[in-house]
């Protein structure tokens, strides 16, 4: 009996061990195999501790939502897309609109017709020539009813016929005509000076009809496109490898390969461990980066970005339907001190709505001046004086406490007699509430899509704009914005935008808080690295010297 | 026994039905939706509504659930919202595999070290050695991974420069000798996550083995073995050890179900592309189909592994064998 039982026990233990060991060896076998498989296709981008990857630029990244340029609406996806694809026009590192697939454009007298001449040497990665038909196909695909691109109307909606095509009323886009193989004409609904800027966005990029029709579901995993880089590898969550397109029409890029490492924890730690060539610096490490005695300081640089953080007031709900309350809150915040103390000046206090480098930007402070007494006086003028309804500001967050700058603002507002509460939600809830107009006031960030004041002043503050999420209506501002849309003289146009900006700031529909900055460290051997204020093609301007 | 297993397996679809329906409805009735998250700055209500219509998100929950169920039983878990153009299976299985590899290796290490520690503690029960071992292991368990990982990264990555500070590169790295002989060695990316995974695990195995070994030591057959004049070593290895391992089978069952779930904190801190971190991201961005698929797979694994543990236990210990004839 005891013998039998012992035998059974031993067998059981053996079975358990077999289970575990079997699993392990399966792991080892398969793991080993996939390792071999991986070894042949990669060129050692990941690198072990201290291993330098020669000729390969190693950048931290994350998975793009999609590599289909026509449906991408986020900056992460755009970062890869602008390297792989290209369009008729592009944005240079200096933010000028430059010719790309087109070698020249002729604009008609009335400013409504754009005739592009394509480069004779422009080809897809496969070697096929880019023709005017490809341009027409791409615009029609981007604005098709089937694709439901979230960006089509914003970027292509000015072209005659795009809206009809998008809603399924028209089979093609009337405003895009193929003249001959190398000439294509765009007709827009009104003379709009920012139209070319919109065409630099991925929604207007060129795609390969043959490839898409041959593999409609998965083509964008290995796109045949026209940009300076080809997608050589995309391992979800692990890495993306871009390889130089030697036949690129503007010349073969000097940087042969860029590997975006999508996993791997803290980028700065990996930078210091020589696993990455570039990394961002956050507030915990900024003192070290700024310390002139540290190694990081030698490779550290800050770059302004086209994005602004702000508090938005829903101008149709009490008490924010009264401009006096909004203005009072604006006068009570000291953004310079808050930026210095809570963010160690990693963000630049906003002096208006338009950020530095943006056409129309002026360096003087256009925000309501910080003055607690004036704020109190403003509040006393309000129709809500003495009977202030409860105020709640919503922000995205999950901590037990509000963002540190919001806490500082709460203290300042207390000094003018306003007791304001903070509500934190997750991102999805925040968006749902914001879209439904349920938020009384909220913390948000706007990132520019193209370097034109229209992309923020018109898009966020025109009473007819779907993105005007604060229900702001000022007929005078609308009039200015309408005029700027079609003003052909660039200087006069910017002047109109400046006037609109001033009025919006005086109305305090937004409390602009800070302009963001990119704080990065870059390894010595990486030449010409730059952090553009918005997503622009940049890899082909970079060189590796090691 | 066979009937019992069949009966349990028949319950599986029922369990999965309730789990999936519950998850499905909870997600749909919660605030926010994936369309608004992935649309980025595009906030035109008409465009968003059209995308919702195209995705079938505007019909009622039961209709949506039935549509999902029909596809799911054919193995199609839908498409991700966060990663457009990729099926849910393509997204979750490779990540689950990475988490599982780490998890299984960690599990083996936990057992290989935990079992001797438990036996040692039991052997020296009453002396200072027992509390020293268990105390140390309890201490290790009490350190959160959030605390243990940064110093490991600092020491082995930044200071000594021996190990990479994050990421995942497979289980093995191949060392070539003269380009002919391939020697597989554990990949350096493994060490830090393994330490983080295993340190808190030793104590539960060790304590279980210790208690069980203490009990077994008092059993008649052990006394008999000793009275036969067997050496203490022989008694410990031939009689005490195998019998002390019984309760561990249950632990193995639960632990095996756990390995495919991954670990949010370790994966996030070390940037490992595993399923734990991914599931968390999916929840935050309301990637409905991904949330649902992982929940269903985790539940299925949990039920199945428990069943395996029960069967194994019954096989090892006839007293708990269900349906066994009692003569």
Mean pLDDT for chain B overall: 82
Residues A171-201 have pLDDT tens digits of 999 999 999 999 999 999 988 888 999 999 9
In the numeric block, the tokens 């069952």 are attached to B253
pLDDT > 70 fraction of chain B, expressed in percent and rounded: 94
Residue B247's pLDDT is what? 79
Which stretches of chain B are DSSP H helices? 2-29, 34-38, 45-54, 61-72, 88-123, 129-142, 145-152, 191-198, 202-217, 220-227, 232-234, 241-244, 248-259, 264-269, 275-284, 288-316
Q: Count of residues for chain B?
A: 327
Q: Is A123 helix (H, G, I), strand (E, B) or coil?
A: strand
Tokens of B112: 């290989």
CB B81 within 8 A of CB B282: no
Q: Say which residues have a Cβ less than 8 Å from residue A376's Cβ, sequence separation at least 6.
A: A328, A416, A417
Residues B106-124 have pLDDT tens digits of 888 988 899 889 888 888 8
How does DSSP classify residue A350?
P
Q: What's the pLDDT band for B41 if we cut at 50, 70, 90? A: low
Residues B237-293 have pLDDT tens digits of 888 888 888 778 777 777 777 777 777 888 888 888 888 888 888 887 778 888 888
Predicted complex ipTM: 0.71
Q: What's the pLDDT band for B320 if we cut at 50, 70, 90? A: low
Residue A308's pLDDT is what? 92
* A69: closest chain B residue by CA: B84
* B42: closest chain A residue by CA: A150
- Please report, for residues A71, A227, B149, B153, B190, the alpha-carbon distance to residue B200 in angstroms, rounded to integers and kept in the order given: 45, 50, 12, 18, 17
- Sign of the alpha-carbon torsion through B150, B156, B160, B166: negative
Cβ burial A209-220 (10 Å sphere, 16+ → b, else e)? eebbeeeeeebb
Residue B38's pLDDT is what? 67
Cβ–Cβ below 8 Å for A49 and B157: yes
Provide, as residue numbers in chain B, all residues whose Cβ is less than 8 Å from the Cβ of A217: 85
Cβ–Cβ below 8 Å for B32 and A431: yes
> How confident is the model over B19-25, as a mean pLDDT?
88
Query: A20 versus A539: which is more confidently predicted?
Result: A539
> In the predicted model, is pLDDT for residue A416 greater than 60?
yes
> In the predicted model, is pLDDT for residue A27 greater than 60?
no
CB A236 within 8 A of CB B94: yes
Residue B13, number of CB atoms within 10 A of its CB: 11
Provide, as residue numbers in chain A, all residues whose Cβ is less than 8 Å from the Cβ of B316: 8-9, 11-13, 15
Cβ burial A412-447 (10 Å sphere, 16+ → b, else e)? bbeebebebebbbbbbbbbbbbbbeeebbbbbbebb
Tokens of A482: 């309408």
Q: Is A467 touching B (CB cutoff 8 A)?
A: yes
How far, in Å, CA of A192 to CA of A158, rounded?
8
What part of A 283-312 touches B (C-beta under 8 Å)?
none
Q: Is B108 touching A (CB cutoff 8 A)?
A: yes
**Pairing state of beta strands A391-396 and A239-244?**
unpaired
Residue A354's pLDDT is what? 94
How does DSSP classify residue B188?
G
Q: Is A426 touching B (CB cutoff 8 A)?
A: yes
Contacts of A463-469 with C-beta under 8 Å, sequence gap 24+, read A466/B43, A466/B44, A466/B45, A466/B46, A467/B41, A467/B43, A467/B44, A469/A312, A469/A434, A469/A437, A469/A444, A469/B43
- Sign of the alpha-carbon torsion through A100, A102, A106, A111: negative
Q: Say which residues have a Cβ less than 8 Å from residue B178's Cβ, sequence separation at least 6.
A: none
Provide, as residue numbers in chain A, all residues whose Cβ is less than 8 Å from the Cβ of B33: 428, 432
> In the predicted model, is pLDDT for residue A21 greater than 50?
no
Rounded to 5 degrees, φ, ψ at B92 are -90, -35
Out of A2, A9, A150, the one facing B42 most closely (by C-beta) is A150
Mean pLDDT for chain A overall: 85
> In the predicted model, is pLDDT for residue A122 greater than 70?
yes
Tokens of A178: 């193929």
**Pairing state of beta strands A510-522 and A348-349?**
antiparallel
Find residue B199's DSSP bridge partners: none
Q: Name which of A342-356, A388-402, A419-433, B292-306 the model is least confident about.
A: A388-402
> In the predicted model, is pLDDT for residue A43 greater than 60?
no
Is the peptide bond preceding residue A319 cis, with omega within 30 degrees of 0? yes
Residues B195-231 have pLDDT tens digits of 888 888 888 889 888 888 888 888 888 888 888 888 8
Residues A350-396 have pLDDT tens digits of 999 999 889 999 999 999 999 999 999 999 999 898 888 999 999 88
Residue B119's pLDDT is what? 86
Q: Is B304 touching A (CB cutoff 8 A)?
A: no
* B161: closest chain A residue by CA: A49
Residues A263-290 have pLDDT tens digits of 877 888 889 888 899 999 888 888 888 8
How far, in Å, CA of B289 to CA of A79, rounded?
27
Cβ–Cβ below 8 Å for A466 and B312: no
Q: Is A220 touching B (CB cutoff 8 A)?
A: yes
Angle (CA) B308-B312-B315 rounded to 5° is 140
* A219: closest chain B residue by CA: B85
Q: What's the pLDDT band for A81 if we cut at 50, 70, 90? A: very high
Residues A480-531 have pLDDT tens digits of 999 998 888 889 999 999 999 999 999 998 999 999 889 999 999 899 999 9
> In the predicted model, is pLDDT for residue A159 greater than 90?
yes
> In the predicted model, is pLDDT for residue A20 greater than 60?
no
What part of B 113-152 touches A (C-beta under 8 Å)?
none
Q: Is A244 helix (H, G, I), strand (E, B) or coil?
A: strand
> How confident is the model over A422-451, as a mean pLDDT?
84
Query: A245 versus B324: which is more confidently predicted?
Result: A245
Residue A482, number of CB atoms within 10 A of its CB: 14
Cβ burial A488-503 (10 Å sphere, 16+ → b, else e)? eeeeebbebbbebbbe
Helical (H) or strand (E) element with A517: strand A510-522
Residue B39's pLDDT is what? 67
Got the DSSP string for A222-241?
S----SSEEEEEEETTTEEE
* B222: closest chain A residue by CA: A2
Residue B321's pLDDT is what? 62
- Please report, for residues A4, B4, B70, B309, B317, the alpha-carbon distance to residue B324 in angstroms, rounded to integers and kept in the order given: 16, 10, 39, 17, 11
How does DSSP classify residue A353?
S
Say how far residue B304 (Cα) sits from the centre of its chain.
13
Residue B23's pLDDT is what? 87
> In the predicted model, is pLDDT for residue A209 greater than 90?
yes
Tokens of B33: 């939706």
Cβ–Cβ below 8 Å for B39 and A150: yes
Q: Name which of A51-55, B17-21, B25-29, B294-298 the model is least confident about.
A: A51-55
Cβ–Cβ below 8 Å for B158 and A272: yes
């Amino acid at each position: 009996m005891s013998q039998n039982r012992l035998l059974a026990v031993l067998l059981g233990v053996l079975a358990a061990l077999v289970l575990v060991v079997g699993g392990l060896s399966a792991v080892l076998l398969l793991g080993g195999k996939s390792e071999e498989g991986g070894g042949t296709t990669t060129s050692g981008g990941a690198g072990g501790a201290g291993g330098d990857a020669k000729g390969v630029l190693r950048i931290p990244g994350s998975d793009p939502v999609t590599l289909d340029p026509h449906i991408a609406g986020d900056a992460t996806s755009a970062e890869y897309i602008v390297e792989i694809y290209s369009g008729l026009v592009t944005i240079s590192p200096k933010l000028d609109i430059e010719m790309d697939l087109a070698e020249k454009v002729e604009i008609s007298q009335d400013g409504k017709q754009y005739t592009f001449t394509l480069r004779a040497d422009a080809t897809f990665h496969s070697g096929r020539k880019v023709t005017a038909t490809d341009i027409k196909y791409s615009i029609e695909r981007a604005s098709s009813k089937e694709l439901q691109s979230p960006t089509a109307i914003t970027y292509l909606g000015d072209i005659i016929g795009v809206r009809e095509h998008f809603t399924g009323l028209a089979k093609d886009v009337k405003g895009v005509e193929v003249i001959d193989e190398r000439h294509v004409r765009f007709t827009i609904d009104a003379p709009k000076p920012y139209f070319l800027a919109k065409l630099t966005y991925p929604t207007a990029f060129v795609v390969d009809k043959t490839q898409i029709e041959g593999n409609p579901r998965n083509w964008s995993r290995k796109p045949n496109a026209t940009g300076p880089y080809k997608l050589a590898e995309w391992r979800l969550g692990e890495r993306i490898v871009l390889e130089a397109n030697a036949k690129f029409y503007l010349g073969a890029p000097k940087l042969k390969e860029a590997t975006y490492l999508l996993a791997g924890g803290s980028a700065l730690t990996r930078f210091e461990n020589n696993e990455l060539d570039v990394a961002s610096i956050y507030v915990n490490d900024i003192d070290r980066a700024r310390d002139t005695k540290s190694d990081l300081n030698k490779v550290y640089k800050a770059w302004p970005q086209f994005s602004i953080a702000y508090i938005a007031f829903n101008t149709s709900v009490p008490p924010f339907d009264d401009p006096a309350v909004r203005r009072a809150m604006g006068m009570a915040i000291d953004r310079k001190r808050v930026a210095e103390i809570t963010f160690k000046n990693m963000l630049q206090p906003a002096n208006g709505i338009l950020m530095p480098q943006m056409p129309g930007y002026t360096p003087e402070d256009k925000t309501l001046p910080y003055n607690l007494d004036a704020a109190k006086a403003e509040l006393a003028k309000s129709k809500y004086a003495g009977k202030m309804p409860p105020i709640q500001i919503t922000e995205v967050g999950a901590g037990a406490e509000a963002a540190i700058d919001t806490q500082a603002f709460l203290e300042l507002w207390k000094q003018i007699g306003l007791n304001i509460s903070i509500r934190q939600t997750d991102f999805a809830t925040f968006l749902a509430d914001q879209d439904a107009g349920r938020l009384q006031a909220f913390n948000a960030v706007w990132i520019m899509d193209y370097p034109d004041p229209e992309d923020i002043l018109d898009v966020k503050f025109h009473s007819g704009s779907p993105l005007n999420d604060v229900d702001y209506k000022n007929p005078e501002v609308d009039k200015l914005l309408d005029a700027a849309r079609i003003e052909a003289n660039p200087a006069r146009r910017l002047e109109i935008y400046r006037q609109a900006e001033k009025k919006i700031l005086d109305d305090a529909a937004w409390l602009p808080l800070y302009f963001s900055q990119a704080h990065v460290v870059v390894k010595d051997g990486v030449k010409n690295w730059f952090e553009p204020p918005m997503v622009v093609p940049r890899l082909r301007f970079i060189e590796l010297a090691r | 026994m066979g009937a019992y297993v069949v009966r349990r397996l028949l319950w599986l679809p029922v369990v999965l039905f309730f789990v999936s329906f519950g998850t499905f409805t909870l997600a749909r009735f919660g605030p926010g939706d994936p369309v608004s998250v992935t649309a980025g700055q595009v906030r035109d209500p008409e465009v968003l509504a059209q995308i919702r219509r195209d995705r079938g998100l505007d019909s009622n929950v039961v209709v949506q659930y039935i549509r999902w169920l029909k596809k799911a039983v054919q193995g199609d878990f839908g498409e991700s919202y966060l990663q457009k153009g990729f099926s849910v299976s393509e997204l979750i299985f490779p990540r689950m595999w990475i988490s599982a590899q780490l998890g299984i290796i960690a599990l083996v290490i936990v057992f290989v070290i935990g079992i001797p520690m438990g036996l040692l503690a039991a052997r020296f029960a009453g002396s200072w050695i027992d509390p020293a071992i268990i105390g140390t292991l309890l201490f290790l368990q009490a350190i959160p991974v959030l605390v243990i990982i940064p110093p490991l990264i600092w020491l082995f990555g930044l200071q000594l420069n021996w190990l990479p500070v994050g990421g995942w590169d497979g289980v093995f790295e191949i060392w070539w000798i003269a380009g002919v002989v391939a020697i597989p060695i554990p990949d350096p990316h493994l060490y830090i996550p393994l330490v983080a995974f295993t340190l808190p695990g030793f104590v539960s195995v060790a304590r279980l083995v210790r208690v069980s070994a203490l009990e077994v030591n008092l059993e008649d057959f052990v006394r008999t073995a000793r009275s036969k004049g067997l050496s203490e070593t022989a008694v410990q290895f031939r009689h005490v050890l195998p019998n002390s391992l019984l309760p561990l089978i249950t632990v193995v069952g639960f632990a095996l179900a756990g390995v495919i779930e991954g670990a949010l904190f370790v994966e996030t801190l070390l940037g490992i592309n595993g399923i734990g971190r991914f599931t968390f991201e999916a929840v935050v961005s309301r990637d409905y189909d991904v949330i649902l698929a992982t929940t269903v797979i985790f539940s299925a694994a949990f039920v199945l592994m428990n069943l395996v543990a029960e069967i194994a236990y019954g096989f090892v210990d006839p007293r708990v064998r269900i349906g066994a004839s009692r003569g």
